[in-house]
Amino acid sequence: MPFDPSPRDWLEPTTKFAAGRWSYSAKPKALNTLGFPNPRDWSPAEPDWKLPDNWKEIILQGLKERMGRFRSLRIFMDSCVRCGACADKCHYFIGTGDPKNMPVLRAELLRSVYRGEMTLAGRILGRLVGARRLTPEVLREWFYYFYQCTECRRCSVFCPFGIDQAEITMLGRELLNLLGLNINWVMDPAAKCFMTGNHLGITPHALKDNLEFFVDTIEEITGIRIDPPINKKGAQVLFVAPSGDLLAEPGIFTLMGYLLVLHQSGLDYTWSTYASEGGNFGMFASHDLMKSLNAKIYAEARRLGVKWILGGECGHMWRVAHQYMETMNGPADFLEEPVSPITGTRFENARTTRMVHIAEFTADLIHHGRLRLAPERNDGYRVTYHDSCNPARSMGLLEEPRYILGKTCRHFHEMPAETIREKTFCCGCGAGLGSEECMDLRMRGGIPRAEAVRAVREKHGVNLLSCICAIDRAVLPTLMERWVPDVGVAGLHELVGNALVLDGEKPRTTNLRGEPLGGGVA
């Protein structure tokens, strides 16, 4: 029975790791590249984690420092009343039934140590006030549960004090990173991003090859050969996409959609091989690493002399762009306030950070009648839309994608209201938890999303789950295959790319996937 909380006191650490619910440790090479502490070969499954002797001192010192730097941490440590409103808001709790996946208890894992080590009442009254000391077992438990949170922020929507488990997880992981307790699925892409500019380690010439492959495919389908500029100095706009879209299906179809819209709009833009990543796995390790990886975007915009930045469809990328980028690496005074040269629209909401979401850009084009659309080309799809967590809860990008879907698809159906917009459910694999080895966790965490898709599949025959996040595109196909077979996954701009009529194009016989038009997902 998965729904059986341990009869034990939750103050007792959980040290037994369930199979398929934890990720492999980071390789020393990645930590060396990034200058992170304690690079070594180790495994979370082993009893010896090869920690420095003064590990406890390091953590407590780190916690104290962060209490001084983040008001959020002070408030979130002190103000929870354990009302339980957040308890079943977490997809991992719904999927695993593990009580420590209730956001309140995940936060208490850290709070209990804060009370036990740093407050007078906690030191005297101990368990009566939910306080405990930091022990090696508690540390193991932190590792297990801080890597069972996707920082999706759904709990924080329902909390009457706005306590944000994502913030606690981010800071908890920062503490773990002080001891070299990190996972390879985060640190390896972060190290690659540091060196090559993107998580996948795509080198500049390979990036060009990939783009050329997409250009060829687009030519086959539309008869139009487009020429995406790379590292072009003096372009008006720098375009930054999540690198996942360069490599694997179905992300590559989304990328073809970007190429088509950017070509047809006539925007003077450029790709960059150096700032070739919008996503930011640094966010899943520490604020400093987030800043370090993000710095490339403004640096490249400055070097190329662009006026503003346009960003592709990615989830946590937009959390960083919307809530951290300008604070960390700004001011962006070397850029101009973004104005669409095609419609003349001034993107007021991006006037400081000077980075525009492609859904905002495309919605504006469509609204001004600048794109000719043939939505019937998407008739094979009955589409629903997954609000990707970060654009929904850390930005509020809710209507733009829906407007675009309404103009590019003729069969669109919303999932149940409790599972969309600010209440959207995570794919179950965000924040670096998309590895093969934690598949059990992924499939369980994805259950609420999958169930909502199943509901519209049964009611409306939905066969395509659209989204605006590269992680979604990477992981949702596996989730659908497991729980709701026959539902495909597509980025928003794939559907735009299908519907968009290019000037002078030949009659299309297939969609961007090469499937006959009107066919739909198999």
Residues 8-67 that bind other proteins (CB under 8 A): 8-10, 20, 35, 67
Q: Does 236 bind other proteins (CB under 8 A)?
A: no
Q: Does 406 bind other proteins (CB under 8 A)?
A: no
CA nearest to 375, candidates 511, 505, 263, 469: 511
Identify residues 354-393 at the interface with other proteins (CB under 8 A). Answer: 354-355, 360, 363-364, 367, 392-393
Q: State the number of binding residues for other proteins (CB under 8 A).
A: 130
Are 492 and 405 a contacting pair, CB within 8 Å? yes
Identify residues 251-310 at the interface with other proteins (CB under 8 A). Answer: 273-274, 287-289, 291-292, 295-296, 299-300, 303
Q: Does 447 bind other proteins (CB under 8 A)?
A: yes
How far is CA 308 from each of CA 63, 77, 156, 348, rounded to the nearest angstrom? 38, 39, 32, 13
Among 257, 448, 497, 520, binds other proteins (CB under 8 A): 448
DSSP state of 266: T
Among 351, 413, 460, 508, binds other proteins (CB under 8 A): 351
How far is CA 463 from each of CA 32, 300, 522, rounded to the nearest angstrom? 45, 40, 9
Q: Does 344 bind other proteins (CB under 8 A)?
A: no
Among 17, 44, 123, 232, binds other proteins (CB under 8 A): 232
Q: Does 461 bind other proteins (CB under 8 A)?
A: no
Nearer to other proteins, 221 or 363 (CB): 363
- Tell me the C-alpha distance between 123 and 400, whole Å: 51
Among 204, 224, 249, 501, binds other proteins (CB under 8 A): 204
Nearer to other proteins, 44 or 229 (CB): 229
Helix/strand/coil (H/E/C) assignment for every residue in 476-519: HHHHHHHHCCCCEEEEHHHHHHHHECCCCCCCCCECCCCCECCC
DSSP state of 414: P
How far is CA 30 from each of CA 42, 58, 202, 279, 436, rounded to the nearest angstrom? 14, 21, 16, 18, 19
The nearest distance, CB 370 to other proteins, in angstroms, is 13
Among 60, 328, 339, 517, binds other proteins (CB under 8 A): 328
Range in contact with other proteins (rule: CB under 8 A) among 214-222, 378-386, 398-406, 514-522: 398-406
Range in contact with other proteins (rule: CB under 8 A) among 143-151, 205-213, 489-497, 501-509: 205-213
Nearer to other proteins, 197 or 251 (CB): 197
Concatenated DSSP letters of 20-50: TSS-PBPPHHHHHHHT-S------TTSS---
Are 482 and 491 a contacting pair, CB within 8 Å? no
Q: Does 7 bind other proteins (CB under 8 A)?
A: yes
CA nearest to 301, candidates 350, 208, 400, 231: 231
The nearest distance, CB 4 to other proteins, in angstroms, is 5
Nearer to other proteins, 194 or 253 (CB): 194
- Tell me the C-alpha distance between 70 and 119, whole Å: 18
Nearer to other proteins, 59 or 450 (CB): 450
| Cis amide linkage into residue 250, ω under 30° from 0 | yes
Identify residues 155-184 at the interface with other proteins (CB under 8 A). Answer: 156-164, 167
Q: What angle do CA 488, 501, 421 make, to 5 degrees?
A: 45
Q: Does 95 bind other proteins (CB under 8 A)?
A: yes
Range in contact with other proteins (rule: CB under 8 A) among 43-51, 241-249, 341-349, 486-494: 341-349
Residues in the chain: 522
Nearer to other proteins, 221 or 496 (CB): 496
Q: How far apart are the first and last CA of the chain?
A: 34
Residue with tokens 């929904």: 392
How far is CA 521 from each of CA 204, 247, 462, 493, 511, rounded to the nearest angstrom? 33, 20, 10, 16, 11
Q: Does 396 bind other proteins (CB under 8 A)?
A: yes
Residues 180-199 vs other proteins: string with x where CB under 8 A? --------------xxxx--
Among 13, 39, 99, 401, binds other proteins (CB under 8 A): 99
